[in-house]
Amino acid sequence: MFHTLSRLFCLSVAVTGLLSWSQFSFAAERDYISIVGSSTVYPFATVVAETFGRTTHFKTPKIESTGSGGGLKLFCEGVSLNTPDITNASRRIKKSEFDRCRANGVKEIVEVKIGYDGIVIANSIKAPRMKLTRRDIFLALAKNVPDPSGAERLVPNPYRTWKDVNPSLPAEKIEVLGPPPTSGTRDAFVELAMEGGAKTFPWIKTMKKKNKHHYKEICHTLREDGAYIEAGENDNLIVQKLEANPHRLGIFGFSFLDQNSDMIQGSLVDGVAPEFEAIADGSYPISRPLFFYVKKAHVGKVPGIPEYLREFTAEKTWGPDGYLADRGLIPMPDREREKFRHDALNLVPLEGI
């Protein structure tokens, strides 16, 4: 008994040693594409990656969902093969990120815009469909709003019901479920919907030039008195909560509305319903472009990058009838697609921001 025990012990120690030795013998080489980045782009990039993996002899790329900022941080760490080859982003790369990339030796970055994502404000189909304007959204959700009396000053948001905001809206309590500040959807929402609404007040609009910081603060600060409810990153959860409580509204990406159209409906914003065509032609006001960035230094070192780009930019992928459109990606207009396909296939690097 005790001999077997001590033998077992020695064996496991030996295996441990072997394991730690094998770690260091691992060469810095990679036979699959490593992709990181936005959780908004993740559902689209993964479909492309899977198709790419199934229809070519290359391995299926690995895609981490790190968020746009997290992805760019990893991407810009350097050009060693431990860093990712591609990062997805639900916004354009920032100047600071671009500079950091260059400083770390990531000199040539290929920017590929892949399409648009609409941000929808939806409620349960059991309730009437809402017809909102961006001004309504701003007044309902900003922490501080212009004085209802018309004076050019800000007061803490006094509105309790939608009817308070706009007499044509129902007398329902304002309760909106939305993403937390870490989310790219939240960034896009405040930038497009809130800022769009704030700009309808001329004195706030002029402030943009005079005091940009204060302007941003007005537009980007959401209520903290319970009218805006941070519901976590999981959009499915928001959908389920809307289903359970028809008086609430929720904010999330178009693909979730598309998949759950039997349970929820998108509110009209500025008179336009969040439908595929409306987002595609730009008439729906809250939509944002989606991107990915390619590290040119890795092309040729990691197999399959040009082929992946070809798959992604093919008409059957990102075109109006492509399989990404089935998943809820709003395609770009023909000319824009043409431009980015050309840039991607010829690996034209970004000159500057």
Partner 1 sequence: MNSTRITEKNTSELVRKGLKRRYRAERRFRFMGIAALCISVLFLVILFGSIISKGYSAFFQWKVRLNVFVDPARMDVDNLASADYAGAVKAALRREFPEIRKRREKRLLYRIVSIGASYQLRDMVMRDSSIIGSTVSFWAPLDDDVDIYLKGAYGKGSGRLKPLQVRIIEKFRQEGRIKKVFNTTFFTAGDSRDPELAGIRGAVTGSFYTLLVTLLLSFPIGVAAAVYLEEFARPGRWSDIIEVNINNLAAVPSIIFGLLGLAIFLNLFGLPRSSTLVGGLVLTLMTLPTIIIASRAALKSVPPSIREAALGVGASRMQTVFHHVLPLALPGMLTGTIIGMAQALGETAPLPMIGMVAFVADIPHGMTDPSAVLPVQIYLWADSPERAFVEKTSGAIMVLLAFLMAMNGTAVYLRKKFERKW
Tokens of 209: 């030039």
- Tell me which residue of 226, 17, 251 sits closest to 120, measured CA to CA: 251
CA atoms within 13 A on the CB side of 289: 14
Please, what is the Cα angle at 194 between 192 and 197, to 5 degrees?
Answer: 95
What residue type is assigned to position 273 of the chain? A
What residue type is assigned to position 258 of the chain? D
Closer by beta carbon to partner 1, 104 or else 166 = 104
- Tell me which residue of 178, 160, 162, 161 sits closest to 130, measured CA to CA: 162
Q: Out of 37, 38, 39, 121, which residue is the one contacting partner 1 (CB under 8 A)?
A: 39
Tokens of 98: 């671009």
Tokens of 341: 């396909």
What residue type is assigned to position 138 of the chain? F
Site for partner 1 in 268-327 (CB under 8 A): 321, 326-327
* Residue 65 engages partner 1 in binding (rule: CB under 8 A): yes
Closer by beta carbon to partner 1, 9 or else 203 = 9
Q: Which residues pair with 89 in a beta bridge?
A: 291
Cα-Cα-Cα-Cα torsion 99, 104, 107, 111, nearest 10 degrees, comes to -60
Contact (CB, 8 A) for 68 and 91: yes
Q: Out of 115, 146, 197, 253, which residue is the one contacting partner 1 (CB under 8 A)?
A: 253
Dist. CA 270–CA 284, nearest whole Å:
8
* Residue 62 engages partner 1 in binding (rule: CB under 8 A): yes
* Residue 24 engages partner 1 in binding (rule: CB under 8 A): yes
Q: Which residues pair with 250 in a beta bridge?
A: 122, 177
Dist. CA 221–CA 204, nearest whole Å:
14
Q: Minimum Å distance from CB 265 to partner 1?
A: 14
Closer by beta carbon to partner 1, 199 or else 327 = 327
Q: Which residues pair with 156 in a beta bridge?
A: 144
Q: Minimum Å distance from CB 122 to partner 1?
A: 13
Q: Out of 37, 38, 41, 46, which residue is the one contacting partner 1 (CB under 8 A)?
A: 46
Q: Out of 38, 41, 49, 130, which residue is the one contacting partner 1 (CB under 8 A)?
A: 49
Site for partner 1 in 104-143 (CB under 8 A): none
Closer by beta carbon to partner 1, 168 or else 234 = 234
* Residue 182 engages partner 1 in binding (rule: CB under 8 A): no
Closer by beta carbon to partner 1, 63 or else 249 = 63
* Residue 261 engages partner 1 in binding (rule: CB under 8 A): yes
- Tell how far CA 285 is from the center of its chain: 16
* Residue 178 engages partner 1 in binding (rule: CB under 8 A): no
Q: What is the contact mask toward partner 1 in residues 199 to 238, using x (rule: CB under 8 A)?
A: ----------------------------------xxxx--
* Residue 54 engages partner 1 in binding (rule: CB under 8 A): yes
Cα-Cα-Cα-Cα torsion 275, 278, 279, 283, nearest 10 degrees, comes to -140
Question: Could you list the residues that contact partner 1 (CB under 8 A)?
Answer: 1-2, 5-6, 9, 12-13, 15-16, 19, 23-24, 26, 28, 30, 32, 34, 36, 39, 42-43, 46-47, 49-50, 53-57, 59-60, 62-66, 82, 233-236, 253, 255-256, 258-262, 321, 326-328
